[in-house]
Amino acid sequence: MTPDQLLVTNDFLRALDLIGVVVMGITGGALAGRLRFDAVGYAVIGIVSGLGGGILRDLILDHGVPAAFSGPWYLVCALAGAGFSYLVRAQGRTWHRAMTGMDCLALGLWAATGTAKSIDAGLDTLPALLLGVLSAVGGGALRDLLVGRIPGIFGGNPLYATSALVTAIATWLVLLLDLPSWTIIGAVALGSGLAILAVWRSWGLPQHQEWQVTLSASQMKAFVRRVRSSERHRIRTETGAIPVVTGSHAPTEEEIAAEERDDLADDAAGTDDSADDYLQAPEGSGQGVLDPGMGRDSADPAEER
């Protein structure tokens, strides 16, 4: 028995698969409730949440009728989860933890199943990994798009897509190394365990703002002064000439060093200019951040935004 056959035929894993569909139906129904959808909205969002990823995978693989439509159980489970949310308002920390744990277990199982099916269909490694991740998180992403939200896997979600990718890579290794079929359970546990740990520890990938460098006005001025000082030093080193700025005699080495120390002292004691200072600066005065003309008002309001 191959690993992909084990994932499909094992009774325990199949039960876990159906429970995951129910859980995703419940979460989709809960979202429909917050948005005040009617019964049709509950049903549609529940089906998309629970079955969307697998349907996309089977359509891309051209496997004919998607597995979700090959029998009644998948649709029944998705509708049951949505119906539960429609009839029961379940809350509480214990309930939330149980739903999260089952969601993470199903996530690992779906990622492994999608990857194994993709490799069995003859896909290369990268497309197979992509379809494995899509199988796990595609339903939630489609659900968010249907209700006009940014998919949670794009930010703010505790490593769901990353956990699915870990399971997909582990599944690929099991198939590549021709390991025993039961080792696929380890791949499922690896990704599911990472997802549960990420939820518990509130782990997430760094966002774009965390990689940006922000400079205040005084810091930018200090940066420009240091660039100018460095340029003077380079000219002095390469040509032996000392640039003369003011005064009746060329500055000595001691005077230049003192000037650089004064610049550093000004940097340490400097305060940021207010926005009004920049708006009132005359055009071409050199008081902008970098461009001498940046102190003038913008003619286009969109540029200010």
253-296 confidence digits (pLDDT tens):
565 556 555 555 555 555 545 545 544 555 444 444 444 444 44
Per-residue model confidence as pLDDT tens digits over 6-64:
777 778 788 888 888 998 999 899 889 889 999 999 999 999 999 999 999 999 998 78
CB 46 within 8 A of CB 32: yes
CA distance 222 to 90: 57
Is the full-model pTM beyond 0.85? no
Contacts of 141 (CB under 8 A, 6+ apart): 52, 151, 152, 153
CB 180 within 8 A of CB 95: no
Task: Classify the C-alpha dihedral 236-240-246-250 as positive or negative.
Answer: positive
CA distance 300 to 305: 9
Residue listed under structure tokens 């286009």: 300
CA distance 250 to 295: 33
Mean pLDDT value of segment 129-147: 93
pLDDT confidence bin for 222, thresholds 50/70/90? confident
Other C-beta atoms within 10 Å of 53: how many? 29
Half-sphere exposure of 17 (CA within 13 A, CB side): 24
Task: Classify the C-alpha dihedral 21-26-28-29 as positive or negative.
Answer: positive
Strands (E), the chain: none
Percentage of the chain exceeding pLDDT 70: 74
Q: Encoding tokens for residue 27?
A: 């979460």
- What pLDDT is recorded for position 196? 92
Name the more confident of 302 and 14. Answer: 14
For residue 292, the one-letter residue type is P
CA distance 295 to 279: 6
